[in-house]
Amino acid sequence: MSDISQLKKVLEKGEFAVTAECGPPKGADAEAVLKKAETLRGKVDALNVTDNQTAIVRMSSLAACSLINTAGLDPVLQVVVRDRNRIALQSDILGASALGIRNVLCLSGDHQSFGNQPQAAGVFDLDSIQLVQVVRGMRDQGTILGGETLDSPPDLFIGAAANPFADPPAFRVVRLAKKIGAGANFIQTQCIYNLQRFGTWLEMARDRGLTEKAFILGGVTPLKSSGMAKYMKNRVSGMDIPDEIIGRMEGVAKEKQREEGIRICVETIQRLKEMPGVKGIHVMAIEWEEAVGEIVERAGLLPRPIVVS
């Protein structure tokens, strides 16, 4: 699309940013990627493309990002360290930049035992923090691991994830500090349902000056049903869904649960907008991308800013 990350421009201009997740298909159809991306056009500043999320084989994030980029949208390349060693990771970073991709999100990745290839070897040659550091070194020093110089450095806006709800709570901010220290320019958080706990984490981050050093985007996921809410609460590690939220989902008839899920999501975004240190939101509407437009609109975040560099 352009030479500069749209996400970076929006954030640096001080606008409240909106990103959304866009999972690649379990197949080789380019149209499937473009169709999903199209539903998000004009609703978000950038689209995160997941990298074999939950360890299920899908079209590569790099390929899907390239398709989205060609369509004139700003993709965020999610890269997990589960499947590639440092040679492949650095190579893909160069390739991504060459294809015009301008954002990268460095992740550990869901463990291979969760997916459809449980017999796979987990690579984990680098961890997510080391990957952030490596990408920064490539971009800012123009060197790869070990110090060799690149002919031309990649141009990437670097992101990392944070989970304010995992244990041990006091250490979550230490890890955030390490990610930012390693070079993360932006942070996208785990889905927020427990605003009180998120607020505590954010305050600790503010106290360490971290909210001034990186752009923090609060993660939200609209709940589709009370069943999904309970599944996430009980079965997804590192997820904190208060009973009050479960109660709200259970309190409405089945056919109204999607609306309730969207309502909770919009309310959460409105609260996040008021929290000092939150610079945007990241909407992860899992296999429900068509809900993103409505959520963003009802949260008063449309139209998206047109930022010219």
The binding site for another protein (CB under 8 A) comprises 82, 86, 108-109, 111, 113-114, 122, 124-130, 133-134, 145, 161-163, 165-168, 171, 174-175, 177-178, 181-182, 190, 237-238
Residue closer to another protein, measured from CB, 59 or 182: 182
Our CA angle for 160, 164, 165, nearest 5°, is: 130
Q: At its nearest, how many Å lie between another protein and the CB of residue 18? A: 22
Residue closer to another protein, measured from CB, 125 or 155: 125
Structure-token pair, residue 67 = 């398709």
Q: At its nearest, how many Å lie between another protein and the CB of residue 36? A: 25
Q: At its nearest, how many Å lie between another protein and the CB of residue 266? A: 25
Structure-token pair, residue 181 = 């220290």
**Nearest alpha-carbon partner for 76 in 134, 31, 153, 10:** 10
C-alpha to C-alpha distance for 244 and 183, rounded to whole angstroms: 37
Residue closer to another protein, measured from CB, 74 or 240: 240
Residue closer to another protein, measured from CB, 36 or 172: 172
C-alpha to C-alpha distance for 61 and 114, rounded to whole angstroms: 19
Q: At its nearest, how many Å lie between another protein and the CB of residue 235? A: 10
Our CA angle for 143, 147, 151, nearest 5°, is: 35
**287 Ramachandran zone, left/alpha/beta (phi>0; psi -120 to 50):** left
Q: At its nearest, how many Å lie between another protein and the CB of residue 297? A: 30
Residue closer to another protein, measured from CB, 96 or 126: 126
